[in-house]
């Protein structure tokens, strides 16, 4: 099943470390090449000799054991097709979320640009700690797969969520990642993300609540499916594909048009401001005794409509955010804009959309077809969108 694939398993210092011996055997039975790295504390729960016999490879523990000219953490990262960290302790999760590289495992993680699966296991109170949940959310936002622990009796004597998830779940998630068809290979896809910023003066601006999460999820998903991705974003993102940071609607339009001719698809997930200040002040506008201030606004270019007017072979996908009459407004908009697909978001709901990690959208086509994608995390929604466009 996994012939020719190298699976890198990182084991941290938790009691569930002993279970990973069976996970290694599962991958070996699937004909995968398995490499194992451990944190020093993991050696309190499982032996190096056992892991070496099961994986039939040398086990990495110390960071500066360099057998050849290539730094060891880079060598491991280059060789593997996927990285699995199980069990992932609170300590290692927090280090990974904050870019701390103080051992071989965390250094490899920081250098790893391919799929990563993280399977936490810990005491239930540690799992529910707000700081740990923030760190997990940070990792999730960057596109890493988190397999949540299960409820049950824990080694510490507590009853609650903290048990390492079933090994079959980890194995199946890895197989799904490794066997994911490269359906977008050879496609150049431009994706926009975030809300544009229109200056009023050097300290004030007009913008919106868009977090850019949907656009980044689309970009990560397209990249995992083999696409040549160019993300044009107003929010910072460090990715293995091309990321171009812009600020205003005019800057975004210029960045898109620069690469539009040879693009196969453009997905306008960004929330582009409809208006900008006609003449932004070069100096900070001082508060006066007047009760009112007047700003003269002018229309920003309709980037989506313009792209639809000049396209030759490109597939153009637009997004719209509506607070009422979602489908009716979306049907009117897709005909007005002329795009191939329109993704409609209901921003009146607090559990989806802006700043949320979840979404629920409807995909519209010009002929009136509407397909609803039920509430799911934005990475699942992104995958379903590409299935609809290129399925």
Phi, psi at 56, each rounded to 5°: 60, 30
156 tagged catalytic: yes
Distance CA 218, CA 267 (A): 9
Indicate which residue of 21, 124, 156, 320 is catalytic. Answer: 156
Phi, psi at 238, each rounded to 5°: -105, 115
Active site residue ranges: 156
């Amino acid at each position: 099943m996994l012939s020719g694939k190298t699976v890198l398993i990182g084991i941290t210092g938790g009691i569930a470390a002993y279970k990973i011996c069976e996970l290694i055997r599962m991958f070996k039975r699937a004909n995968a090449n398995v490499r194992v790295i451990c944190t020093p504390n993991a050696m309190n729960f499982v032996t190096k000799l056992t892991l070496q016999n099961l994986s039939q490879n040398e086990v990495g523990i110390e960071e500066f054991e360099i057998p050849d000219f290539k730094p060891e953490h880079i060598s491991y990262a280059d060789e593997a097709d996927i990285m699995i960290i199980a069990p992932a302790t609170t300590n290692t999760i927090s280090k990974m979320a904050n870019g701390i590289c103080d051992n071989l495992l965390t250094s490899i993680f920081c250098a790893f640009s391919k799929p990563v699966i993280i399977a936490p296991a810990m005491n239930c109170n540690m799992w529910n700690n707000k700081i740990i949940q923030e760190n997990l959310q940070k990792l999730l936002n960057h596109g890493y797969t988190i397999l949540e622990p299960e409820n049950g009796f824990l080694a510490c004597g507590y009853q609650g969520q903290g048990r390492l998830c079933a090994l079959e779940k980890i194995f199946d998630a890895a197989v799904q990642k490794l066997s994911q068809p490269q359906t977008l290979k050879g496609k150049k896809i431009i994706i926009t993300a975030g809300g544009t910023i229109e200056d009023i003066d050097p300290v004030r601006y007009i913008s919106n609540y868009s977090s850019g999460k949907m656009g980044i999820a689309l970009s990560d998903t397209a990249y995992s499916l083999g696409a040549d991705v160019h993300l044009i974003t107003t929010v910072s993102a460090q990715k293995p594909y091309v990321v171009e940071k812009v600020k205003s609607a005019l800057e975004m339009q210029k960045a898109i048009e620069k690469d539009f001719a040879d693009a196969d698809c453009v997905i306008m997930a960004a929330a582009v401001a409809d208006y900008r200040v006609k003449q932004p002040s070069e100096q900070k506008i001082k508060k006066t005794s007047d009760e009112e201030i007047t700003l003269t606004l002018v229309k920003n270019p309709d980037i989506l409509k313009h792209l639809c007017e000049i396209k030759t072979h490109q597939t153009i996908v637009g997004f719209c955010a509506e607070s009422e009459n979602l489908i009716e407004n979306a049907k009117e908009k897709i005909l007005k804009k002329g795009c191939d697909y329109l993704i409609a978001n209901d921003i009146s709901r607090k559990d989806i959309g802006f700043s949320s990690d979840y979404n629920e959208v409807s995909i519209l086509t010009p002929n009136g077809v509407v397909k609803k994608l039920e509430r799911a995390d934005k990475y699942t929604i992104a995958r379903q969108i590409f299935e609809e466009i290129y399925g």
